[in-house]
Amino acid sequence: MGDPLLHARGLVRTYHGGVRASAALRDVSIEVAAGDWVAVTGPSGSGKSTLLHLLGGLDRPDRGEVWLAGQRLDTRSESGRALLRRRHVGFVFQFLNLVPTMTAAGNVELPLLLQGTGRREARRRALEALDELDVGEAADAAPAELSGGQQQRVALARAVVHRPDVLLADEPTGALDSTAAENVLDLLRRRHLAGQSIVLVTHDHRVASAADRVLTMLDGQVVDERDLTGPPGRAALRNLIDLEG
């Protein structure tokens, strides 16, 4: 069996500011194989987003290692991490980060253009991705002209248009109503069935229950890990959701 697609060992990250230092991650390790869907849950401030940023090379740990597609990520320069991320990672940010002065299609084209794809081919693939996510009619609209659900679909199209090995999603349904959130979750299920590896940060147990594994974080540590692929796993989590409801 080969190395996992994405794995991190002994991650420690401390932020310095104010009166005292704040430990965001304390010796966190994670492995993501090709085709895995891992959900990361936990209360605000537990280190979920920090973990996602380290896995995608947006930040570097104080200690520990991050490996992506067989290459060490955390020891690279900022430009080196950006290059590796551009090849292998798609990001869906909590606040979307769509470029307001570009159309929906222009936003989705951007990762392809940064990779050196020709403009005509980039436009073709952008329109194809928007159509796949049922938002093709909004290709020429600016982000401000779209609903929250449409904006989230555009952000998802931008994240997957360059066919990344792994999709990192930070609360992709957090700002949506229940109908829009279920639509985005359906889209993620379709990508996963097509072989997409996903690491998803969420507060919502219902979203987490769609994953293969659920990691629960507290105070910068992984305090629980559950495999939902076996017979008791998903049913047990759904029972927990029902009880909480």
Give the mean model confidence (pLDDT) for residues 29-38.
95
Closest by CA position to 55, among listed 24, 80, 91: 91
**Whether 226 contacts 214, CB under 8 Å:** yes
Give the mean model confidence (pLDDT) for residues 150-160.
90
Q: Which domains does the chain possess?
A: 6-244 (3.40.50.300)
**CA contacts within 13 A on the Cβ side of 32:** 31
* pLDDT value at 42 more than 80: yes
Whether the predicted model's global pTM rises above the 0.85 cut: yes
Q: Pick the range with the lowest mean pLDDT from 60-69, 89-98, 152-161, 226-235.
A: 226-235
* pLDDT value at 41 more than 60: yes
pLDDT digit string, tens, across residues 124-146: 999 999 998 889 999 999 999 99
